Amino acid sequence: MGDPTAQLARLPRATPEEIQQLRAAYGLDKPLLGQFADYVGDTVRLDLGISQRTRRPVWDEIGDALPWTLLLVGTGTLLATVVGTWLGIVAATRRGSRTDDSLLGFSLFTYSAPEYWIGLILILLFAVAIPVFPAGLQMTPGEQFESFWAQAVDVAQHLVLPSIALMLVLLGQYFVIMRSSMVDVLTEDFITVKRATGLPWAKVVRRHAVRNALLPLVTLSAIYFGFVMGGVITIETIFSWPGLGLLEFDAITSKDFPMLQGAFLVFSVSVIVLNLIADCLYFVLDPRVQSA
Amino acid sequence: MNRVLSSKRGRFALAVVTLFVFVAVFGALLAPQDPEASSTEVLEGPSGSHLLGTTEVGADVFSQLLVGARVSIVVGFSAAVISAVLGAAVGLTGGYFGGITDKLIDAFENWFLVIPQLPLMVVLARLLNPSLGVLIFVIGITSWAGTGRIVRSQVLTLKERAFVERARALGASDWHIIRRHILPNALPLIFANTVLIVAVAILAEASLSFLGLGDPTSISWGRMLEDGFSAGAPSAGAWWYMVPPGLCITVLVFAIGLLGYVFEQQLNPRLQEAVE
């Protein structure tokens, strides 16, 4: 087992007394159940402890990293929703065609691929072979920006590759859900009726089918959020994007347990909160749920 | 099995998976060079002597690729078996006995369904020391909840069937009914689901190895990506090193996913209509 003090006391001349002191300082001399009680107590009081790697409070580290993760996850999810929905509509309205088949094949491929590998391919293609985008970090290091806008443009350029990588990870699922949901809606009677009234097909799709088909996407995207959180760890790692994922990765490599636990807590809580929001949204969006 | 072979997708998926299993068994013998042997030819592109070029320490990428198949296959299948056994046990117990047992199991299952899997695996794997066994354990123990849920719903309908009621009327014990009447009928579903878990487990192994939580003593595709990435192979443009391991993972996961999908189709005629 990895006793954290083995890590702390890697000082060659640490005496047994000093190691004992360290163990006491971290509460590791208590029985396991006592340690667990301490952990639960601290967590309830929102005390996540001090990072062993940086010696800063875990909350401060998380606070610094969270905005970057939100920016990345937000952009990636937004792109995936828009592109996935659009492709799903295209495929569903041309069901059985070659377009449909190749879109399905592509989305299953990205679904099967490890997300960090997709990121590495993007780096190889668009940062090394054709160097159009930076391969890592969130902005050019050491650069003095003249204005807020100059900085925003720089950040946006750095955001392109990681957010596309995240989008490709999610795209497959969003596409498949949207496609099957659209197929269901398009075979319903009210669509046939709308067509019979002479409404143009494009309008039937846009006004009547898409709106109804979007419903399952809301709940399912919340369920898949846990999956996004997994993707964030590896994608932020390969792009050196200074968010929660990179924090988690640094904590893994340096055996920084307070940081690992803290990041894990934030990941889990955000997934639970998102599921809650999705349930509420579903209630608002679907009148049938309200009457039930 | 015959029905799987009757579909074009099924044949394709089975052929790919068989090929990978063959490489996993015989990869070490097929490898043209010692995959760990370093040389001075560092990060060189594909050539006659190195089909897929060399790594950052001058080892042969192609040989590493062949040897690495074993970890993926072994971890993928073993973890899926653990997950299937746990999921089946939990699903059978909850579904069959119902009541408070079911409620407790359900709450526990929900917890595992909601907690993001990779962060959980990362914390567990870091606490234990990385080895092949730890990888299998960590992946198996975090991926059973979905199987449990599916088995439970199947058991709920099975236990109301006439043949179960008949067995109960004849005085059969719960254990006998579960073992002889319910489990055999739930088995095909458990099997199809386990095939899909193999795909998830292979991806999980690769991710953990990529994050440096894999078995440090054996070569795997995830570790190849990690080694290459931390040595700066992507910025050196070493596509021959970074593309093949990921492609192998993707193709294997894709084929296994397809296989599970074909099995599911055979089991559930309703799905067949919905897709075709």
Residue A48 is predicted with a pLDDT of 77
Residue A9 is predicted with a pLDDT of 52
- pLDDT tens digit string along B138-188? 999 999 998 999 899 889 888 888 888 898 889 888 889 988 889 988 888
Chain B residue nearest residue A236, CA to CA: B211
Residue B247 is predicted with a pLDDT of 94
A224 touches B at CB < 8 Å: no
CB contact under 8 A, A234 and B210: yes
Instruction: Report all structural domains of chain B as residue ranges with CATH numbers, in order of start.
Output: 2-275 (1.10.3720.10)
Q: Which residues of chain A are within 8 Å of residue B235 when distances are taken between CB atoms? A: 123, 127-128, 135
pTM of the model: 0.86
**Quick check: A36 pLDDT over 60?**
yes
If pLDDT is split at 50, 70 and 90, which confidence band does A292 have? low
Residue B77 is predicted with a pLDDT of 94
A123 touches B at CB < 8 Å: yes
Chain A / chain B CB contacts < 8 angstroms: 126
User: Concatenated DSSP letters for chain B?
Assistant: -HHHHHSHHHHHHHHHHHHHHHHHHHHHHH-SS-TT---S-TTPPP-SS-TT-B-TTS-BHHHHHHHHHHHHHHHHHHHHHHHHHHHHHHHHHHHHH-HHHHHHHHHHHHHHHHS-HHHHHHHHHHHSPP-HHHHHHHHHHHS-HHHHHHHHHHHHHHTTSHHHHHHHHTT--HHHHIIIIIHHHHHHHHHHHHHHHHHHHHHHHHHHHHTT-S-TTS--HHHHHHHHHHTTTTTTT-HHHHHHHHHHHHHHHHHHHHHHHHHHHHH-HHHHHHH-
**Quick check: B87 pLDDT over 90?**
yes
Mutate to test the interface with B, among A116, A227, A246 (most CBs of B within 10 A): A116
If pLDDT is split at 50, 70 and 90, which confidence band does B261 have? confident
Average pLDDT, integer, range B90-94 = 92
Mean pLDDT of chain A: 82
CB contact under 8 A, A109 and B253: no
Looking at per-residue pLDDT, the higher value among A207 and B91 belongs to B91
